[in-house]
A and B are shown apart, each in its own frame.
Chain A
């Protein structure tokens, strides 16, 4: 049997060792253009950073640079050599694949260590971290630490109650113990009772604590609104649906900053002076409520229509069907996106600093204006504080979502 001769440029295969010297060159000669370009680009980046480091004389930098350069050249050379052997047959191709997998990870890791290490070192050695440290408590609780509130500090245990309730509810859900809402409600109730006097009648608390309080109050207001108008949007009566659509589309079309201005300026006329804090909470609730309504609607519409039809066929009224059959099932689908919406709300609370509430972003702004020098360190800290909470919540949302993917 005749096997047509394959194109076998033996001369270029032998040149694969060139990649030890110039990463990517061997791959290019072998016809693996994409790999070659990737290695060349990585090499350019690494050498651009490593060259000045190698001459700097600082031990830390030299070690980082050496690690990156050595793994880059070794990786490029070894993969090029393996690629050159690929054409000899299936076994070599398989082995080459493994070499490539291993070394592409090592090279990428070296690049990340180089850049990440330098960045980290630079950030850690910034001059003004002590300023951030001095103001850190202000970022967390605002002026609440001051003398006049000293006898109130214990109220912060309210956060512990909230956290405990949430953790217990989540743990029970994971362990498939029923009635997980009980610890959640107890935790929330204790937390609110303890924390309420810190925002009423005057907002004495600030910083991250205030951001969290605003987010919690906001979602507590948004959920009933969302349920009301989300269910309303699925209603068959045109007027009820029309009102719901109007509310939802109005608030979803506007930037939050306009909503907060409306409320901040005009709620005091409706509710009287000194109600700015509650105006802000109302703005957060109404704004988020529109998004929650869409989550509710999606949750209801995701249910097979047979559910509602079966309930109606049994003689349940429209309201009974909604409350006893549809919503209890839809709620399960709604929880993960609701947590996501809560994260958005938590981020949105940063805007209330514009109308003078000193929550986390506001506290950061005030401190930055006062210090002038430490702005980078300060805003990085503020961003990280937001990040920690939002990220933890997003992990929670993903955990809640995961079992459904399996089903």
Chain B
């Protein structure tokens, strides 16, 4: 693998990156959604991704657990290259994902939602899986709802269950695709608090979000996407105070209203 064009994307204090994307392209029919994205993420880093609608943020993080297949370029996650014929499930075990629309399984209870994957994928015995699931639900603050069905919970509670569900597989990386944008304002905080706790515990996180407060408080890096590519890759404060690109400035003034 040629390393020359990776240099600028990798952070200087480089241990081995846990995610490494090189020149990633993705087409939807004739639409070029990703146009040569380069990014590498160190273990324990929290990276916030922002950018205008349609800029390819979701598409990019979905290529990292191969919900989308990229058409060109390479992606390596925890030493495994994402390509055809690989053991996909092995990669997906390492990478947890939280969706904007929660996507809890409506026909299973909260506890079953969390315990299902460990039991089916890791073959954890039921008693042990349930115990761990309860611990995780405790951690996200909804252990008492364990035996309800998803439709009986509020949006914020559902999203916290979704986080617990992803954590149950002990992933090395967590991907968040706008986890709070389907929530009412009063519920956003409870989800962000859980995410902050997670970041504090040293989890590697890629978060698509427009919550600037969260980004400035928690993120190590901030990446700005525009038209299928990364146009800015700095710290949140740097981005906030001193955006380099016109598009980034325009975007900031729209999001923050200044």
Contacts and interface: CB of A to CB of B under 8 A. Distances in A.
Interface of A: 1-4, 6-8, 31, 86-87, 89-91, 93-94
B83 A90 contact: yes
B76 A6 contact: no
The 4 closest A-B pairs by CB, nearest first: A87-B85, A86-B84, A94-B71, A93-B84
B76 A89 contact: no
Contacts of A3: 1, 76, 79-81
Contacts of A93: 69, 71, 83-84
B147 interface: no
Interface in B71-90: 71-74, 76, 79-81, 83-87
Given A1-B16, A3-B1, A89 B83 contact: yes
B93 to A, nearest CB: 14
B107 to A, nearest CB: 26
A89 B17 CA distance: 21
Contacts of B81: 3-4, 6
B165 interface: no
Question: DSSP class of B's interface residues: helix, strand, loop or mixed?
Answer: loop
B20 interface: yes
A1 B2 CA distance: 10
20 contacts: A1-B1, A1-B3, A1-B17, A2-B79, A3-B76, A3-B80, A4-B79, A6-B83, A6-B85, A6-B86, A7-B87, A8-B85, A31-B85, A86-B85, A87-B84, A90-B69, A90-B73, A90-B74, A93-B71, A93-B83
B70 interface: yes
Nearest to A7: B85
B72 A90 contact: yes
Contacts of A86: 84-85
Given A6-B83, A90-B71, A94-B72, 14 more contacts: A1-B1, A1-B3, A1-B17, A1-B20, A3-B1, A3-B79, A87-B83, A89-B83, A90-B25, A90-B83, A93-B83, A93-B84, A94-B27, A94-B71
Contacts of A4: 79-81
B130 to A, nearest CB: 33
Instruction: Sort chain B's interface into a size bin.
Output: 20 to 34
Contacts of B16: 1
A62 to B, nearest CB: 40
Nearest to B85: A87
A7 B80 CA distance: 12
A390 to B, nearest CB: 36
Nearest to B27: A94
Contacts of B69: 90, 93-94
B231 to A, nearest CB: 23
Interface string B13-25: 0001100100001
Nearest to B3: A1
A236 to B, nearest CB: 30
A402 B195 CA distance: 44
Residue of A86, A89, A90 contacting most chain B CB atoms (<10 Å): A90
Contacts of B1: 1, 3
A195 to B, nearest CB: 53
Interface string B27-59: 100000000000000000000000000000000
B91 to A, nearest CB: 11
Nearest to A2: B79
A105 B86 CA distance: 27
Interface string B91-111: 000000000000000000000
Contacts of B87: 7
A3 B76 CA distance: 8
Nearest to B23: A90
B71 A91 contact: yes
Contacts of A8: 85
A97 B72 CA distance: 13
Contacts of B71: 90-91, 93-94
B85 A89 contact: no
Nearest to B87: A7
Contacts of B27: 94
A1 B40 CA distance: 12
Nearest to B81: A3
